[in-house]
Structures are given as C-alpha cells and as structure tokens.
Structure 1
Amino acid sequence: MSSNLLKGTAILTIGLFLSKALGLLYVIPFYAIVGLESVGLYQYAYIPYNIALSVAIAGAPLAFSKYVAKYNALGDYATGRKLMKSGMSVMAITGVLSFLVLYSLAEPLAHLVRKSDEQDFTINEIASVIRWVSFALLVVPMMSLARGFLQGYQKMEPTAVSQLVEQIVRIIFVLAGAFIVVNLMDGSPRTAVNFAVFAAFIGALAGGAVLYKYWRGFKPEFDHLLANSPPAEDVSFRSMYKELFAYIFPFILVGVINPLYQFVDMITFNDAMDSIGLGSVTDDYFTMLNFLTHKIVMIPVMVATGFSMALIPVITGYYAKKDQNGISRSLDQTYQIMLFLTIPMVIGMMVLSNELYLFLYEKDVMGAEILASYAPVAILFGLYTVTAAILQGIDRHKWIVFTSLLGLLFKLALNIPLIKLFETNGAILATTIGYTIAVGINILIIKKTLNYRSKMVFRRLILIFLLNVAMFIAVIASLKGLTAISPAGGKMHAFLYILICTIVGAAIYGYLSFKTGLAQKLFGDRLTRLTNKLGLRR
C-alpha cells in the first residue's frame, strides 16, 4: 500500500503542481496585457463556472474511482466497465444541461455582483464573460468520468498528464487571444477577457484527446482483467446508480465547497464594502482576494488534492477488505507528508508576501497584506480536502454533507458583519471559521469511526512544527538582511530576494529534516539509502 499510495500521490501531485504553477504563472503576462480592472472581470466568470462545473461533473472523478476500486478489489471488473459505458451518456447530458443553465443565468448573476454605480464593470460585461466560459461545460464532464475510471485502476498518470496538457493549451489560447485582441487589433482589454475565458473549452478538448490516447493504450490490459474475472454481479442500472449517487452528493460538495465560499464573497463582498463607503475600490479588492492571491494560496493545496485523489481508491480497497492496519498506515502517512510539505510553503508565502506580489503582479501594499493574511488558510483547505477524502473512503458521506454545509453556513452568516468590521480580512476570517469547523468535526468523526489514535503522528507533527520555526527564523532573518541593504524595487529584484530566501529556507528545512531522520521516515527506504550515501545519517 505504502508504495502505491506514494507513487499515485507523487504522480498526481507533480501533475497538479505543474498545472497550478502554470495557472499562476500565466496570470503574470495576462495581467500585464489586460490590467487589474479587466483581470477582475475574468474572475467574475470563473467562480460561477467552477460551481456549475462541479455540479455537472457530479463528483465523477472521485466517485467513479471509488466505485470502480471497490468492485475491482472484489475481483469484479465487469461492473466498473458497465458503469463506464452508461456513465458517458449521463455525463454528456449533465454537461449540456449545465451549459444551458449557466448560459441562461448569466445576466441574473451579473445583477447579484454589481451593487454600486461606482463599480468598474457593467451588467452586460459581467454577463458576457459568464456566457463565454459556459461552453467548456459541454466537454469537461465526460472527460472527468474517464479520469475517475482510470484512477479506480490506480492509473494516476492519465489524470496528471491530461490536466497538464489541458492547462497548457488553455494558457496558450488565453495569452495569444488577449495579445492579438489588445495589441494587434487595438481591441478593448475587456473584449480580450471574453476570448480568454473561452479558452477553458479549447483546453478541455485537448485534455480529452490525451485521455482518449491513454484509454487506447490501457484497453488491452483492462480487457484481459475483464476476460479473467468472474461473471459480473447482478447489479441493475438502478442499483448501480443508486449506490453511485449515494457517493455523488458528498463528492459534489467537496469539489464545489471552495467555489461556494468564493461565491458567498462574490454576492456579499461588494455590497458590504459599499455600505462602509468603499464601493469605488471593492472590485479591485475582490480581485486581489478571490483571484490574484487565491491563485498563489491554492498552490500548497495541490499537495492535499494529490493525496485525496490517490487516497480514496486505496482506503476504499482496504475498507472493503476490512484491513484496519492498512487504513491506519495510510492515514499516518497522509497526515504527516501533507503537513510536512504544505506548512513551509505557507510560511514562505507569508514572509515573502510583498516580494511575491511585486514579482507576480505589481507593487501593492494592500495586495501583499491580503496575501499574508490569506496564506495560512491554505492549510485548512488542504486538511478539509484530505479529511473529506478519508470520510468518503470509509462511507461516511452524510457527515461530509453535514460538516461542509455547516461550515458554509457560518461563512454566509459571518461574512457581511466581519467585512464591515475588518474589510477584506473579514472575508478571510469568515472563511477560516467555516473551514475550521468543518475540518474539526471531520477529524473527530474519523477518530471515532476508525478508533484512530497515533501518538507517533502527534510527536512527528510537533517535530514538523519545530523545524518550521527554525526555517521561519532563517528566512525572515535573510529577508531583513537583504531589505536592509536595498528594498526590492522591481520584479527582478523581488525575484532575486524570493530565490535567495527560498534557497535558505529549503536548505535549513531539508538539512534539519534529514538530520532528525524525519524525511527518511516519511519518504521511505530509497531516501534513506540516498541520505546515507550523502553522509546525512542520524
């Protein structure tokens, strides 16, 4: 198990990291082409799109991987293939319906967003970008089902590669389209944003082509397993989809919960800011919060996402076999590695917030402050994703629904009053409270259901915390020394400081992790042999 989980996690995490990194890096030239105001219009399209996409997909990648993994563990490969064939038709229908719904709701959503005449965008401009992005819903649901089916067979590479290709093609279309409209056709940056959001459809077509190629490559192996498996269980389509839909709603919530939190901001932030006399800057601040800094904050979360996608089929298989030891080992490994990797990234974003914002976008005190405040929430995002994945793997779907909706309810109830008190930080605080409640209850349910106790994990987490304290001191001392010599005045200057501080932090964190033996214990025998060769024995 351990090697399968690590291998699957590594493949997905690398793919997701590259995809998220590209998803951040393209914003730099796109921001330069269309400017801050038009970038804000871009994110007004993507929040409702992400919600519609999550509903259209209906949790397909993880729900299908769980279903297929369950029957594969029992030696029944025919049932998963049966579901695959019928599922494609279902996903095609949900894609068309979701496209029609989002396209028709574009104008009503625009009215929810525009609360003041002082805001930058018109109703027609907001509605237009929502309509353009909705076309991607015609393709993505079927692609997501194929990813889930392959993940059920522990084939993680197709998901990672297809997501990466999808992102690359989308970014090329975004940047090329925006550049041509603005610089060659002398068009408006806001017109360029319409072409940019349509790139989601083009990217989805490319990702689908990659998945089809993988499917053709794996089909002989799948056919062999099918031919040598016992006859399929007598599972009717009604029973099959009844079981699948029992998984689906929790999966929808897990996939849509972050966009829903953003949607709460989208329909309440502008109104709350206008009520305290900040209507003229609310579009810019909202863009900083839910697009520019959110892009950066979500990078550490890809570690947790990679774990969750690899973890569900593994835990489902152990749970079906009633292998308690296997489940416990998976949980130990997941909690430790996720926090070992995400916490230092969050600390780095907080310490280097000014330099990161200057390098990626421009010098902006408010943007840097928002990034520093928002960065720690990434840990909660990651923990929510992982704990929800664990609950899905052990069939505690009702608890996912309860904790997700409870956290969202607190966000909705607290958002406006906290924004009126603390402006942008109020929205961040409301998100923090909502996710803390959801994650806390998830952990309690996991402990109670699995009787999971691990003093070893607790000790390791204390050690991780101490290593991060040492790294934090080293990084902040390095930054203070550099800025005392010369504050970062431009993008390359900021990049140099980021690079130096990152090298210092990684060196301190890596060295201490090796010397304490923590890295070797978390990442296995191969790393142990490597560190022994390098003379880094404990």
Structure 2
Amino acid sequence: MGSNLLKGTAILTIGLFLSKALGLIYVIPFYSIVGDKNIALYQYAYIPYNIALSIAISGAPLAISKFVSKYNALGDYATGRKLLKSSMGIMALTGVLSFLALYFMAEPLAHMVIKDDEQVFTIEDIASVIRWVSYALLAVPIMSVVRGFLQGYQKFEPTSVSQLIEQIVRIAVVLIGSFVVVNIFGGSPKTAVKFAVFAAFVGAIASLGVLALYWRKYKPEMNHLLENSPPAGELPVSTIYKEIITYILPFVLVGVINPLYQFVDMITFNGTMASIGLAKVTDTYLTMLNFLTHKIVMIPVMVATGFSMAIIPVITNYYSKGDQRGITRSLDQTYQIMLFVTIPMVVGLMALSADTYQLLYDRNSVGAAVLRSYAPAAILFGMYTVTAAIMQGIDRHKWIVFTSLLGLLFKLVLNIPLIKLFEVNGAIAATIIGYSVAVGVNLLVIRKELNYHSQIVVRRIILILVFNAVMLAAVLLVRNGLYAIHVPAGKLQALLYVLICSGVGAVVYGFLSLRSGLAQKLLGDRITRITNKLKIGRS
C-alpha cells in the first residue's frame, strides 16, 4: 500500500510538473507571434479559465477520490459507482450552466476590466476572448469526475497522463493556430488570441479521450469488484452529496485561491491605475504582473505542490496513531526541505530578473522590476500550499476555508489603496500581505492542533538565509562583472549570462550546504554517502 501511495504521488507530481513546465515554455513563442500588447488580451481570458481549471483539477477529483477510496476500503464498490452515475449527469449540467454563465457574463466582466478609453483594448475585445474560452467549461466538469473516480481506485496514471495530453494539445493548437492566423492568412493578432483561448476546449476534449481509453482498460477489473460488492441502495444520493460537499470546498479553495487573487487584480487594477493617470500603460503592466512574471514565479511553487501531495497521508498516519515524535519530525523535514529548495530559486530570480525576463520575453526594465518584486511571493505561495495540505491531513477543513477567505479579504481591502500608492508594487504588496495572513494563521493552527514546537526549524532557516546571502553576493559579483564587459543584446547572450550566474550560485550554495552538513541532514543518506566519498562534508 505504501509503495502504491509513493508511486501514485510520484506519477501525479511528475505529471503536474511537466504540465506546469509546458505552461511556461509555450508563452515564449506565443509572445513572439502575437506581440507584447496583444498577449494582454490573452491573459484577460486566461484568469477566468484558470479559475475553472483549478476548481476542476484540485476540487472535484480529490473530493471524489477520497469518497470512492473510503467506501472501496469497506468493500462497498457499488456506492462509488452510484456516485459516478449520478455525478456524471450533474456535472454535465453544471458544465452547461457554467458555460452559459461565463458566456453571458463576458460583457459585464469586460466592463470591470476596461475603465478608460485610453486603454489598449475595447470592451468587445475582452468580452469576445472570455466567450471563446468559456467553451472549455462544457468538458472540464465531466473530466474532473472521471479523474477523481479512477484515483479512488488508486489509478493515478490516467489523471497525470490526461493532464499532460490536455496541455500538449492545448499548446499545439495555441501555437499552430495563432501562427497560421497571423503569418499564413495575414489575420490580426487579436483574431489569433481568440483562436488561442478556444484551444482550452480542444485540450479538454483530448483529455476526455485519454480518460475514455483508460476507462476501457480498467473497466473489467472494476466490474469484477462491483459484482462482489454489497448493494448501494442503503446510502441515499442526498447523503452521498452531503459528504462530497464537506470534502470539496477546502480542496477547491486551496486550488483556486491563487487565481482568485489574480481575479481581484483583474477587476481592480485598471480602474485604479486610470484614476492616477496611468490608463495608457495599465493593460501592459497588468499582463506583466498576472501573466508573464506570474508564470515564472510559479516555478518554485511546483516544489511545494509535490510536497503537499506527499505530506497529507504521512501526517494523517502519524496523527491517527498519536505519534508526536513522528509528527514533529515530518513537519520539521517538510518546512526545511521546502525552504531549502525554494529560497535560493527565489533569490536567483530576483538577482537575475532582467536577464530572465529578456531570455523568456524581451528586454524590459519594467517587466524585470515586476519580476524582482513579485518573486518573494513564491515562498508564501509554497508555504500556503504546504500548510493547507497539513491541515487537510488532520481534517481541519473549516480552518482552511477561514484562513483562505481571510487572506483574500485582506487582498480585496488593501489592493486599491496600495495600487494608488505604489502602482504595480502595490498589487504585489496586497498579495503578499494576504498570503502572509493566511500562512500565519495556518501555522498557528498547526502549532496548536499538533502540539508542534520546534526550535531547530528556526535555526536552520537562519542558516539557509545566511547561505543565500553569500550566494547572492557571489551571483551579483559575477553578473556585474559580465555587465561591465558587455550588456546582453539578445536572448542567446541573456541565456549565457543566466547559465553562468545561476551555475555560480548553485556551486556556492551547494558547497556551503554540503560543507556545513545541512544538505546531508535534510536530503538523507544518499547525499551523505556521496559527500563521504568526496570528503567535503562534516565528519
């Protein structure tokens, strides 16, 4: 069972990582095809789509899989099948209603975004791309039910592979379609963007096709289990859905909270910037914040997502046994490893913000500054994901709902006044404050509920920060030396500078971590054996 769990976690994590990595890479050629101004139009559709996608990927599958696995463990395979039959119809209806709601809400949403005639796009431009992306909602809810049901049978591969195929097909349609529209048919980039957002629907259909193939593969095995199952009539459908809803809300909130923060920016940023006389640049600045730099900032968060998937069963196991030492040890390791990996990635992004932005998009001092300011938020995004996962593991779902909404409330209240004071940095500050509140309360709840007291984490974090300060000094020294010789003029030179500087940073940080013994303590015996052979760690 343990090996299946580890295998399942690994499959889901790898699939998610590849999917997220592709989600960053495709932006580079798409940016070149439609241009820096028109990509802003894409992100206005991207945020409502991302909210829908987050709900589907993080909410229903996890809740349904938890329900199905619970009754499967009792030998009651019929109840899970009863849920599947009823939920397919309900989710199909939900998909149609969601599609209609977003389709007809497109214009009101566009009015929230367009606040001044000096902005780059019209209300019809924004409404049109939102309508085109809304078609994806027809397929996404059904897809989420099938994924969750198969996960309940410990079948993790279908979710991972279908997510990956969905992303590959979507990206292929985005890039090929937009290239054909602009370069072969001579269409406008705005038309290409409409085609690109419709790719979400095509990708979802491809994902459903993959899930159908897996269903055919696993159906004989699942039917055999069903034949030996007691009848499911004892549990009413209303009771089933009451239980599902108690599972689904915290899972949905954890998955959707980041897009909701972006949505707050989407409906408040332009109006606030227009009120201080910056309507001409507001679309460009919002795209830098909510799309271009956000894609980069989310890279370190992938590490935290992998940990969050792994920590839930571990914490649940120790908590159910009342093993205090096990709880403390697993929390110590989780916090330390996540910060050990995430902090240097964030520091590197800050130090090399100009070169990274130039490498991925174009040389732009404003974009680089936004990336530099926004990068530290990745640590909080990761900590929120991990702490919420820990609370899921000990069934503190109400606290997850409370802290998530509390952080979002701070974002809502502070966003407009801070944007007026600090422009883009104000929106970033409001996000950081909102997440800090949510993470802070999560940590307090975990401390109290799990009786968690550990001084070693504080000491190790201080050590990690010291090592990062030394690494930062080395990276800046090398970068400034390279800039004194020649400022990078193109993407290849920017790539070379990023590789050299990040390589120096990795060597310095790695050496300090190994020499002090910190890496060995956090990453285990395999690292210790290597360092003993090389004679670079503490004896």
TM > 0.5 between the two?
A: yes
CA shift, 1:181, in A, is 0.4
- What pairs with 1:115-194 in structure 2 (closer than 5 Å)? 115-194=115-194
Counterpart position of 2:275: 275
Counterpart position of 1:201: 201
Q: Does 1:404 align with 2:404?
A: yes
CA shift, 1:62, in A, is 2.4
CA shift, 1:393, in A, is 2.3
Q: Which moved more, 1:239-248 or 1:453-462?
A: 453-462
Counterpart position of 1:308: 308
CA distance in 1 between partners of 2:98 and 2:402 (Å): 25
Q: Which one-letter code corresponds to 1:492 in the other structure?
A: L
Counterpart position of 1:94: 94
Counterpart position of 1:285: 285
Q: Which moved more, 1:272-281 or 1:520-529?
A: 520-529
CA shift, 1:363, in A, is 1.0
CA distance 1:56–1:7, change in 2 (3 Å): closer
Residues 165 and 206 in structure 1, CA contact (< 8 A), matched pair in contact too: yes
CA distance 1:427–1:4, change in 2 (3 Å): farther
CA distance in 1 between partners of 2:232 and 2:451 (Å): 34
CA shift, 1:517, in A, is 3.6
Q: Which moved more, 1:136-145 or 1:419-428?
A: 136-145
- What pairs with 1:458-497 in structure 2 (closer than 5 Å)? 458-497=458-497
Q: Secondary structure at the match of 1:137?
A: helix
CA distance in 2 between partners of 1:517 and 1:369 (Å): 35
CA distance 1:93–1:439, change in 2 (3 Å): same
CA distance 1:401–1:272, change in 2 (3 Å): same
Q: Secondary structure at the match of 2:279?
A: coil
CA shift, 1:327, in A, is 4.7
Counterpart position of 1:444: 444
CA shift, 1:411, in A, is 0.8
CA distance in 1 between partners of 2:420 and 2:457 (Å): 40
- What pairs with 1:334-413 in structure 2 (closer than 5 Å)? 334-413=334-413
CA shift, 1:9, in A, is 4.7
CA shift, 1:48, in A, is 1.8
CA distance in 2 between partners of 1:91 and 1:315 (Å): 32
Which ranges in structure 2 are unaligned for 5 or more consecutive residues? Answer: none
Q: Secondary structure at the match of 1:362?
A: coil
CA distance in 1 between partners of 2:394 and 2:55 (Å): 23
CA distance in 1 between partners of 2:75 and 2:530 (Å): 38
CA distance in 2 between partners of 1:335 and 1:328 (Å): 11
CA distance in 1 between partners of 2:262 and 2:535 (Å): 48
Residues 49 and 102 in structure 1, CA contact (< 8 A), matched pair in contact too: no
Counterpart position of 2:36: 36
Q: Secondary structure at the match of 1:288?
A: helix
- What pairs with 1:222-301 in structure 2 (closer than 5 Å)? 234-301=234-301
CA distance in 2 between partners of 1:513 and 1:449 (Å): 32
CA distance 1:369–1:533, change in 2 (3 Å): same
CA distance in 1 between partners of 2:37 and 2:111 (Å): 18
Residues 56 and 144 in structure 2, CA contact (< 8 A), matched pair in contact too: no
CA distance 1:140–1:527, change in 2 (3 Å): farther
CA shift, 1:75, in A, is 6.3
* Structure 2 length-normalised TM: 0.91
CA distance 1:534–1:477, change in 2 (3 Å): same
CA distance in 1 between partners of 2:157 and 2:99 (Å): 29
Counterpart position of 1:107: 107
CA distance in 2 between partners of 1:71 and 1:308 (Å): 24
Q: Which moved more, 1:41-50 or 1:6-15?
A: 6-15
CA distance 1:329–1:531, change in 2 (3 Å): same
Q: Deviations over 1:97-148 (max 9, x none)?
A: 2111111111111111110000011111111100111111111222223333
CA distance 1:308–1:228, change in 2 (3 Å): farther
CA distance 1:97–1:312, change in 2 (3 Å): farther
Residues 60 and 145 in structure 2, CA contact (< 8 A), matched pair in contact too: yes
Counterpart position of 1:522: 522
CA distance in 2 between partners of 1:213 and 1:207 (Å): 10
Q: Deviations over 1:300-350 (max 9, x none)?
A: 112222222343355456556666665545433332322222111111110
CA distance in 2 between partners of 1:56 and 1:142 (Å): 9
Q: Which moved more, 1:291-300 or 1:139-148?
A: 139-148
Q: Secondary structure at the match of 1:59?
A: helix
Counterpart position of 1:505: 505
Residues 70 and 313 in structure 1, CA contact (< 8 A), matched pair in contact too: no
Q: Which one-letter code corresponds to 2:191 in the other structure?
A: T
CA distance 1:455–1:365, change in 2 (3 Å): same
CA shift, 1:213, in A, is 3.6
CA distance 1:340–1:75, change in 2 (3 Å): farther
Q: Secondary structure at the match of 1:280?
A: helix
CA shift, 1:356, in A, is 0.7
Amino-acid identity (%): 71
Q: Secondary structure at the match of 2:120?
A: coil
CA distance 1:348–1:438, change in 2 (3 Å): same
Q: Which one-letter code corresponds to 1:263 in the other structure?
A: F
CA distance 1:305–1:91, change in 2 (3 Å): farther
Aligned-pair RMSD on alpha carbons? 2.8
CA shift, 1:461, in A, is 2.9
CA distance in 2 between partners of 1:458 and 1:83 (Å): 46
Residues 95 and 138 in structure 1, CA contact (< 8 A), matched pair in contact too: yes
Q: Deviations over 1:502-522 (max 9, x none)?
A: 222222323333344433443
CA shift, 1:194, in A, is 0.4
Q: Which moved more, 1:115-124 or 1:83-92?
A: 83-92
Q: Which moved more, 1:235-244 or 1:147-156?
A: 147-156
Q: Deviations over 1:493-534 (max 9, x none)?
A: 101001111222222323333344433443444444455555
Q: Which moved more, 1:323-332 or 1:259-268?
A: 323-332
Residues 54 and 255 in structure 2, CA contact (< 8 A), matched pair in contact too: yes
Q: Deviations over 1:56-112 (max 9, x none)?
A: 668112222333454556666554444344333332222222111111111111111
CA distance 1:202–1:532, change in 2 (3 Å): farther
Q: Deviations over 1:343-384 (max 9, x none)?
A: 111111101100011111111110100000000001111111
CA distance in 2 between partners of 1:339 and 1:81 (Å): 41
Residues 56 and 94 in structure 1, CA contact (< 8 A), matched pair in contact too: no
CA distance in 1 between partners of 2:71 and 2:517 (Å): 39
CA distance in 2 between partners of 1:208 and 1:532 (Å): 50
Residues 53 and 98 in structure 1, CA contact (< 8 A), matched pair in contact too: no
* Structure 1 length-normalised TM: 0.91
CA distance in 1 between partners of 2:517 and 2:230 (Å): 46
Which ranges in structure 1 are unaligned for 5 or more consecutive residues? Answer: none
Residues 73 and 320 in structure 1, CA contact (< 8 A), matched pair in contact too: no
Q: Which moved more, 1:466-475 or 1:112-121?
A: 466-475
CA distance in 2 between partners of 1:13 and 1:331 (Å): 20
Q: Deviations over 1:151-201 (max 9, x none)?
A: 445554433332222211111110100000001001000000000001111
Residues 388 and 442 in structure 1, CA contact (< 8 A), matched pair in contact too: yes
CA distance 1:93–1:402, change in 2 (3 Å): same
Q: Which moved more, 1:213-222 or 1:191-200?
A: 213-222
CA shift, 1:43, in A, is 0.4
